Amino acid sequence: MRVDIITLLPQIFENVFDESVLGSAVKSGLIDIVLHNFRDYGDGKHKTVDDTPFGGGPGMVFKPTPLVNCIRDVRKKSIPAPVIGLTPQGEPFTQNLGKELAKFDRLILVCGRYEGFDERIIHEFDFQLSIGDYVLTGGEFAAMTVVDAISRMIPGTVGCQDSVIQDSFYEGILDHPQYTRPASWEGLEVPNVLLNGNHAFINKYRRSRALLTTIVSRPDVFATTNLSDSDKDIIQELISHM
Ligand code: ADE
């Protein structure tokens, strides 16, 4: 997958895409990140990209022409791709949306700053994404989050694809708790079932913990989960032990 990132601060991304799983994906060519500084499209000697808002108020607003010229140029550099604005008013980014975006061969992400974009450029976006109900100083950290989450879903990026399928949210529920050695630590024991090597029991135990964690921590997520018949049996069993 090729990801073009349009930003005023390309240096923020230095090193971010060099490490860990994402770093290996970039090195092995599974993901190609291309950064574009839209300052290069700014007006005049000072390459101005922003101006004060009409009607007054604090902060600066991105002028429409430099950003739109940059987006249109970047579009032409490779195969067709959706142009995605990272903004607080965008569609909430979820694991499911990530799965859909991972199917594209190319994405173009546009990072805002200051008070926002001139409203008239919004039609250049195919859609907008928000990573949460808070306002960041810019879209750069949101772009990193989106690229990181999507990259894990591209086959080949995570060594063991099972670990992605088991991830929190991948199947609409949270992940089960994990333990490692020592089996006894500060008086806290690893559940016995995980030590006995019976994989049918282990899988059932993990599924029941995952369901329970979701019910307790994220009832909103649980309400939208598609439960299998065996999930329903597990929940009945959990209720009968209450
Ligand atoms: N830019 C500023 N805040 C943001 C958010 N919450 N999500 C995406 N982009 C943003």
Evaluate: CB of 7 within 6 angstroms of ligand 1: no
Model pLDDT, residue 170: 67
Evaluate: CB of 134 within 6 angstroms of ligand 1: yes
- Which residue's CA is minimally distant from atom 8 of ligand 1? 130
Cis ω before 219 (30° cut-off from 0): no
One digit per residue, the tens of pLDDT, for the chain of length 242 reads 999 999 999 999 989 988 888 888 999 999 999 999 999 999 999 999 999 999 999 999 999 999 999 999 999 999 999 999 999 999 999 999 999 999 999 999 999 987 899 999 999 999 999 999 999 999 999 999 999 999 999 988 875 567 777 677 767 899 999 999 999 999 999 999 999 999 999 999 999 999 999 999 999 999 999 999 999 999 999 999 88
Is 172:184 a contact under the CB 8 Å cutoff?
no
Evaluate: CB of 136 within 6 angstroms of ligand 1: yes
The Cα–Cα gap between 101 and 93 comes to 10
Evaluate: CB of 88 within 6 angstroms of ligand 1: yes
Tens digits of residue pLDDT in 147-194 = 999 999 998 887 556 777 767 776 789 999 999 999 999 999 999 999
Distance 83 CA to ligand 1 centre (A): 16
Query: Which long-range CB contacts under 8 A does 177-184 form with residues at least 24 apart?
Result: 177/209, 177/213
- Ligand 1 atom with least separation from CA of 137: 2
The Cα–Cα gap between 48 and 45 comes to 8
The Cα–Cα gap between 159 and 152 comes to 10
The Cα–Cα gap between 20 and 149 comes to 13
- Which residue's CA is minimally distant from atom 10 of ligand 1? 87
